[in-house]
Chain A
Amino acid sequence: MTARKQAWFTFVALAIGLALLPLLVEAGLGRSWVRILDLTLLYIMLAVGLNIVVGYAGLLDLGYIAFYAVGAYCYALLASPQFGLHLPFWVLLPTGALLAGVFGLLLGAPTLRLRGDYLAIVTLGFGEIIRIFLNNLNTPINITNGPQGVNLIDPIRIAGFSLGKTQHLFGVTFSSPQLYYYFFLVLTLIAIFVALRLQDSRIGRAWAAIREDELAAQASGINLRNTKLLAFAMGATFGGLAGGLFAGFQGFISPESFNLMESIMILCMIVLGGMGNIPGVILGAILLTVLPEALRYVGDLQRAWIGHVVVDPADLRMLLFGFALILMMLFRPAGLLPSRRHLNELRHD
C-alpha cells in the first residue's frame, strides 16, 4: 500500500509541477522560455510518434518531418488569408493528422516490403520532395506561397476562446504561450498515453516481434506488411497532429521549418533517450530542445573571452547531434534510459 501511496504522491507532485511550470518559467526566465516549453511539448509529441515507427517497429524513417509539414500546411492553408478559409481547429487538426496518415500509407505501401535500409533512403527522399513541392507550388497557381511561406495563420481557438492572446482566468492572467502550454500539455499527455497503451498490447508486441526477427514474426502469424504499415501510418498521424498545432502556435510557416535536419533531430531525440522507451524518448526530446538554447550561451562566452564569435553556436548544434548519433550507437545503443520490457512484465503478474 505504501508503494501505491508513493506513486500517488509522485503523480500529484508531478501534476502540480507541470501546472505551475509555465508560470514559474515566465516569471523567472521570461516569456521566450515559455515558448521554448511549448515547442518542447511539440517535439515530445513528434518524438513519441517517430518512436512508434523507429523504436517499436524498428523501421528507420528519415523523412518524418514531412508528415509534420503535411499537418502544418493543411492547417495553414485552411485557416489563413491564403485561400480566405478559416476552418475551426477541431476540423483542422484531425484533417491534418488524417492526411499525414494517408501520406504515410502511400509512401509505406510500396517500400515496406523491402529491406529496412531502402525505407530509410526512400523516406529521406520523400522528406526532400515534400519540401521541394512546398517551395515551388506557388506558380502557376499559388498554393503554398513558395519560399515565403504562409502568414497570418489563425491561432487555435477553442469555442471562441483564443489561445493567441492574453486571457484572464480565475483572477490569473495567462499569456498566449502559457495558454498554448496547457493545451499542448493535454495533447502531449494523450499522445504519450496512446503510445504507452499501444506498446503494451497485441499490436505493440507484434511491432516488437517484427523489430526482433521478421521471419519469426511471420511464422507467428503476423502480417508483415500490414503491421509495418500500421506503425508507419500511426507515426505519420502523430506527426500530422503536431504539425497542425505548430502552424496554429507559430502563426507563420515556411518550407524551411521542415528540412532534413529537423527529421534528424527528432531521430536524435529517440536514439539519445532510448529507442522504444517512452520515458527515454521524452527525456531525449527535452534535452535536445533545451540544449540548443543553452548553446546560445556558448556564443556569449566566446564574445566575453575572445571578443567576437568564432564559431556560431547554431552551427555547432547539428555537429553535436551528428556526434551524439555516432557515439550513442557505438557506446550506449540502448540510450540514456534503456527500455525494460521484462520489468514491465513483472508489474502485471
Chain B
Amino acid sequence: MDILVQQLINGLVLGSVYALVALGYTMVYGILELINFAHGEVTMFGAMVALAVISALLGAGVDLPGVVIALLGLLTAIPACMLLGYGIERLAYRPLRHAPRLAPLITAIGVSIVLQNIAMLIWGRQYISFPPILPQGYHTLLGARITDVQILILVASLVLMVALTLLVQRTQLGRAMRATAQSPQLAGLMGVDANRVISLTFIIGSGIAAVAGVLVSAYYGLAHYYMGFLLGLKAFSAAVLGGVGNLAGAMLGGLLLGVIESLGAGYIGDITGGFLGSNYQDVFAFFVLIIVLIVRPSGLLGKPSHDRA
C-alpha cells in the first residue's frame, strides 16, 4: 500500500467534512461577523439525532436496506438541526445584534456549553457506535485503499458544495445574502429583509452541518456528545485558512486542513525523530490557525482587509 496516497485520500475525505462545517462558520461570519461557537455542537446534534433514528428503526426491526435507514436518519437530522440553528439565532444572537462585541461571543459560548450538556443528558457520556448498515466494501486506487463510505462522503460533500455555490450565485436568496453581507443597512434599504436572510443563513448552515455530522460519525463509526468541540475548532481553522467569509475559501481551507492533518499525523514521527507521535494529530489545525493569522490573516482567498478609521 502506498502510504502517501493513502494519507492523501484520508485527508481529502476528512477535509471535505471540515469544509462542510467550515461553510456554516463562514456564512454566518460573512453576514454577522460573529463566530458561531455553537456550530460544532449543531454538527454533533446532527450525528446524534440521526443515530437515534437509525437505532430506533433497527430496534423496531424495520426491514429496509441499510442505506435507506441511514438516509432516514439523515433526513430527520437535517430538519432537526435547521430548527436548532434557527432557534439559536432567534433566542441567543438576534437580541444582541447591537450589543458590544463581547456579548454575542459570550452567549455563543453559553449556547455551545448548553447544547453539549443537553446532548450528554439525553445520550449519555459514552461513545455511541454507528451501526454497520452502510456498504463496507473498498476499492484499490493507486496502491491505496478507498472505502465505500469514503467515496460516499466525498460525493455527498461535493454535491452539497456545488448546490450551495449555485444557491448563493444564482438565486434571489443568494443575492440577498451577498447584499446583506456587504452592508445590512443598504440591503435593508433595497428591500432585503435582513432578519429573514440571517435566519435562512443559519438554517442552511445548520442543515449542511447535520449532513457533516452524520458523515463524520459514519466515517469514524462513532458519535459522542463532545465531538462537536474539536470538529468545530478545526472547521473554524479551515474557514480562517481559506479566508473567513469566503465560501470557496472555506471549501479549499477544509480540504487543505484535512490533508495537512493527515500527512502531518502520518509523518510527524519521522520529522521529530519519534519524539512526537500521531497522537498529536489534533494540534495541527491549531498551528495552521496561528500561522495563517500571523502570515496572512485574511486567509488564502480572502482580500486583505483595508485599514480603517
Asked whether the complex places CB atoms of A and B closer than 8 A, the reply is yes
B253 at interface, CB cutoff 8 A:
no
In angstroms, how far is the closest chain A Cβ from the Cβ of B136?
32
- Are A325 and B113 neighbours in the complex by a CB distance under 8 Å? yes
CA distance A140 to B275 in the complex (A): 6
- Are B229 and A260 neighbours in the complex by a CB distance under 8 Å? yes
CA distance A111 to B294 in the complex (A): 7
A262 at interface, CB cutoff 8 A:
no
- Are B110 and A326 neighbours in the complex by a CB distance under 8 Å? yes
CA distance A1 to B103 in the complex (A): 42
In angstroms, how far is the closest chain A Cβ from the Cβ of B103?
5
CA distance A60 to B104 in the complex (A): 11
Contact mask B142-180 → A, CB, 8 Å, 1/0?
A: 000000000000000000000000000000000000000
- Are A129 and B286 neighbours in the complex by a CB distance under 8 Å? yes
- Are B120 and A329 neighbours in the complex by a CB distance under 8 Å? no
Check A120/B105 contact, CB under 8 A, given A318-B113, A319-B118. Answer: yes
Contact mask B100-116 → A, CB, 8 Å, 1/0?
A: 11111111011111111
In angstroms, how far is the closest chain B Cβ from the Cβ of A52?
15
Residues of chain A within 8 A (CB-CB) of B276 are 136
Contact mask A101-127 → B, CB, 8 Å, 1/0?
A: 000000000110010111011101110
Closest to B272 in A: A140
Residues of chain A within 8 A (CB-CB) of B101 are 116-117
- Of residues 87 through 111 on chain B, the ones whose CB sits less than 8 Å from some CB of chain A are 92, 95-96, 99-107, 109-111
Count, chain B residues at interface, CB 8 A: 49
Residues of chain A within 8 A (CB-CB) of B277 are 136, 139
- Are A318 and B35 neighbours in the complex by a CB distance under 8 Å? no
- Are B118 and A121 neighbours in the complex by a CB distance under 8 Å? no
- Are A325 and B109 neighbours in the complex by a CB distance under 8 Å? yes
Residue from A54, A125, A311 having most chain B Cβ neighbours under 10 A: A125
- Are B233 and A128 neighbours in the complex by a CB distance under 8 Å? yes
A315 at interface, CB cutoff 8 A:
yes
B213 at interface, CB cutoff 8 A:
no
Check A125/B109 contact, CB under 8 A, given A114-B293, A117-B35, A140-B275. Answer: no
Partner of A329, one of B110, B112, B279, B297: B110
- Are A122 and B113 neighbours in the complex by a CB distance under 8 Å? no
Q: How many A-B residue pairs have CB under 8 A?
A: 121
Closest to A325 in B: B110
- Are A129 and B283 neighbours in the complex by a CB distance under 8 Å? yes
B127 at interface, CB cutoff 8 A:
no
- Are A125 and B297 neighbours in the complex by a CB distance under 8 Å? no
Residues of chain B within 8 A (CB-CB) of A267 are 106, 109
B236 at interface, CB cutoff 8 A:
yes
B271 at interface, CB cutoff 8 A:
no
- Are A330 and B282 neighbours in the complex by a CB distance under 8 Å? no
In angstroms, how far is the closest chain B Cβ from the Cβ of A234?
19
In angstroms, how far is the closest chain B Cβ from the Cβ of A119?
10
- Are B96 and A329 neighbours in the complex by a CB distance under 8 Å? yes
- Of residues 258 through 300 on chain B, the ones whose CB sits less than 8 Å from some CB of chain A are 274-277, 279-280, 282-283, 285-286, 289-290, 293-294, 297
Check A62/B233 contact, CB under 8 A, given A117-B101, A215-B309. Answer: no
In angstroms, how far is the closest chain A Cβ from the Cβ of B111?
6
B76 at interface, CB cutoff 8 A:
no
Check A125/B110 contact, CB under 8 A, given A132-B280, A318-B116. Answer: no
B117 at interface, CB cutoff 8 A:
yes
Partner of B286, one of A128, A139, A326: A128
Closest to A116 in B: B101
CA distance A207 to B116 in the complex (A): 34
B4 at interface, CB cutoff 8 A:
no
Closest to B233 in A: A125
Check A325/B106 contact, CB under 8 A, given A128-B233, A215-B309. Answer: yes
- Are A322 and B110 neighbours in the complex by a CB distance under 8 Å? yes
Give 6 new A-B contacts, CB below 8 A, not counting A120-B105, A128-B286, A325-B110. A60-B106, A110-B294, A316-B117, A318-B113, A325-B106, A326-B111
Q: Which 3 A-B pairs have the closest CB atoms?
A: A325-B110, A322-B113, A322-B114
A-B contact pairs, 23 of them (CB 8 A): A60-B102, A116-B101, A117-B33, A118-B293, A120-B35, A121-B35, A121-B289, A125-B285, A128-B230, A261-B113, A264-B109, A315-B117, A319-B117, A319-B118, A319-B121, A321-B113, A322-B111, A322-B116, A325-B106, A325-B109, A326-B110, A326-B111, A329-B99
Interface residue ranges, B against A (CB under 8 Å) = 33-35, 92, 95-96, 99-107, 109-118, 120-121, 229-230, 233, 236-237, 240, 274-277, 279-280, 282-283, 285-286, 289-290, 293-294, 297, 309
